[in-house]
Structure 1
Amino acid sequence: MKHAARWTGNILVLAGIGLLIWQFTGIRETKGVKHEQLDAFANLKAAAEESGQATKEAAAAGGQQTGKQAAEKKIGDIEGVLDIPQIDIHAPVAYGATPEILDRGFGAIPRMDMPGETGGSYAIAGHQSHVFGQFFNRLDELTNGSRFSLETVDEEQTYEVYDMRIVDPEDVQVIGPEQGKAKLSLVTCYPKNSDKHRLVVMAERVDEEAGE
């Protein structure tokens, strides 16, 4: 009997060690992906700045300026970097809200407006509870008046929270545009470890660079 108990104890210890190794490996992989995405975004921003400078120089030299063409978005492309110091978030945002993207971080919901566009709406989704990362685990700590930023390749945009709601998953109109606001919504499942509802944090752009 003691022998069997000892074997059971050993198996449980080994299982616990295996679980810790699995979690550590997963967290390290998630962090690695995050750093790769941040590096990719930095390179993208540098290329955009270089292209913009070249366009200005060509225009100053009398060259023909063709106008800025919006590149077609592809699922997985890095849209920007979300920074919410209040809840320790500084992470890239990829285009798309597929399970693969949300398993690694944050995803911009497709087919919405450009971020920072007055009268438009942009939304970022993320898990609230995930074994390999914190993601939006502390999103419910934000309150009306909380501020955060979204850095795009063109600029850094500042947003201020003006409403928070818990809604049904089908209640998608909550992230729709509102007249006069450059709206950005942060969306996650609610409560933790459940997808019964959605927690939606709505914010509007408050800096002087808000788009028209």
Structure 2
Amino acid sequence: MVTINRRNIKAVLNIFIFLLGLTLVAYPFVARYIHNQAARTQVEEFRDQSIKISQTELDRRIELAHAYNSTILPSMNGVVDPFTKKQKEGIKEYARMLEINEQIGFIDIPKIDLSLPIHAGATEEVLQKAAAHLQGTSLPVGGKGTNSVITAHRGLPSAKLFSDLNKMEVGDLFFLHNLRDDLAYQVIEIKVIEPNDFESLKIEEAEDRVTLLTCTPYMINSHRLLVIGKRIPYPKESVQETITRRQPSPWKLWLTIALSLFIFLSIIVLFIKRKKANRSFSRVK
């Protein structure tokens, strides 16, 4: 019969506290790995589904998106009254013309090893799991006189999202992909603004821009970090090389799990040895 004493209770409590701490440490690694894998799967599904759409239909949808973009004021103060039937239809659709399974595209940022689906509308539900297109800004289909704002959270324990956006530098590249087109942008400016500084999101008449937006400082979120990119020709070969080098590897996850199991088993072994030693000492006495 096992006798429960204070020493046994204390040992069990210590193990429980240690395992709880270990779980809290390991959780972000495991959760973010799972989220990254799910995001990559969504990206691949978007690409696979878009290939199945006819070229005529793709062109029609992209044309609608351009019509929507033509209704946006450069000052970002809202939307002008539609003048044509096509503009009316574009506004009515908002981003639905670009959607497949609630996605309107995806973003790829090699510098921070990130590939994320993009959803329409920056609702909290979307921001918890993906990047979002900020409604009222240009849809991500390119074109002169556009500035599409893509936003995502930082600091979530369950998803990486834009947590590493602060590592971007002027000259870095990122890529947007919609139903039909692959678009490349080069970072031309990085700035920190007040949350209500909409002037920084304005459209430059002759430029094709995409602005990446997230909160800063990390975990404080009092300001907004902007990474502004300008459209450049799409470098197909270098992009493919980058994607090949960045094939997802689970080694970090497996290393974390292996270390956790090793520490856990070591604690159990030490506990058993200590318990046996205590029993032997008691018998000697």
Select 2:129's aligned residue among 90, 100, 104.
104
Partner of 1:59: none
Select 1:12's aligned residue among 14, 17, 20.
17
Cα-to-partner distance string for 1:117-150 (whole Å, 9 max, x where unaligned): 2111101111222212222222122222212111
Partner of 1:47: 52
CA distance in 1, matches of 2:133, 2:179: 15
Select 1:86's aligned residue among 98, 101, 111.
111
Against the structure 1 CA distance between its residues 54 and 99, is the aligned structure 2 distance closer, same or farther, given a 3 Å change threshold?
closer
CA distance in 1, matches of 2:64, 2:147: 21
One-letter identity of the residue aligned with 1:46: I
User: Quick check: 171-180 or 196-205, which moved more?
Assistant: 171-180
State whether residues 40 and 115 of structure 2, in contact with CA within 8 Å, keep that contact through their aligned partners in structure 1: no
Against the structure 1 CA distance between its residues 118 and 32, is the aligned structure 2 distance closer, same or farther, given a 3 Å change threshold?
same
User: Quick check: 28-37 or 87-96, which moved more?
Assistant: 28-37
Q: Percent identity?
A: 23
Please report how far the alpha carbon of residue 159 of structure 1 lies from its aligned counterpart in structure 2 after TM superposition: 0.7
For structure 1, list consecutive stretches of 5 or more residues without a partner in the other structure.
57-64
CA distance in 2, matches of 1:21, 1:137: 18
More strand by share: 1
More helix by share: 2
CA distance in 2, matches of 1:100, 1:199: 21
Cα-to-partner distance string for 1:24-59 (whole Å, 9 max, x where unaligned): 6633552354144213312332133xx116899xxx
Look up the SS of the partner of 2:171 in the other structure.
coil
Please report how far the alpha carbon of residue 192 of structure 1 lies from its aligned counterpart in structure 2 after TM superposition: 0.9
User: Quick check: 26-35 or 108-117, which moved more?
Assistant: 26-35
Against the structure 1 CA distance between its residues 36 and 194, is the aligned structure 2 distance closer, same or farther, given a 3 Å change threshold?
same
Against the structure 1 CA distance between its residues 127 and 182, is the aligned structure 2 distance closer, same or farther, given a 3 Å change threshold?
same
CA distance in 1, matches of 2:38, 2:125: 12
CA RMSD, Structure 1 to Structure 2 (Å): 3.0
State whether residues 58 and 179 of structure 2, in contact with CA within 8 Å, keep that contact through their aligned partners in structure 1: no
One-letter identity of the residue aligned with 1:201: V
CA distance in 2, matches of 1:25, 1:146: 28
* CA radius of gyration, larger in: 2
Aligned length: 197
State whether residues 143 and 208 of structure 2, in contact with CA within 8 Å, keep that contact through their aligned partners in structure 1: yes
Cα-to-partner distance string for 1:144-200 (whole Å, 9 max, x where unaligned): 221211111111111111111111111122122112111100001101112111100
Partner of 2:204: 178
Look up the SS of the partner of 1:27 in the other structure.
helix
CA distance in 2, matches of 1:144, 1:135: 20
Look up the SS of the partner of 2:52 in the other structure.
helix
Please report how far the alpha carbon of residue 98 of structure 1 lies from its aligned counterpart in structure 2 after TM superposition: 1.3
One-letter identity of the residue aligned with 1:102: L
Please report how far the alpha carbon of residue 23 of structure 1 lies from its aligned counterpart in structure 2 after TM superposition: 4.4
1:160 paired to 2:186: yes
CA distance in 1, matches of 2:132, 2:40: 16
Select 2:160's aligned residue among 128, 131, 134.
134
State whether residues 33 and 104 of structure 1, in contact with CA within 8 Å, keep that contact through their aligned partners in structure 2: no
Partner of 2:229: 203
For structure 2, list consecutive stretches of 5 or more residues without a partner in the other structure.
1-5, 66-89, 235-285
Partner of 2:143: 117
1:148 paired to 2:153: no
Look up the SS of the partner of 1:15 in the other structure.
helix
User: Quick check: 20-29 or 100-109, which moved more?
Assistant: 20-29
Please report how far the alpha carbon of residue 20 of structure 1 lies from its aligned counterpart in structure 2 after TM superposition: 5.7
Select 1:95's aligned residue among 101, 113, 120.
120
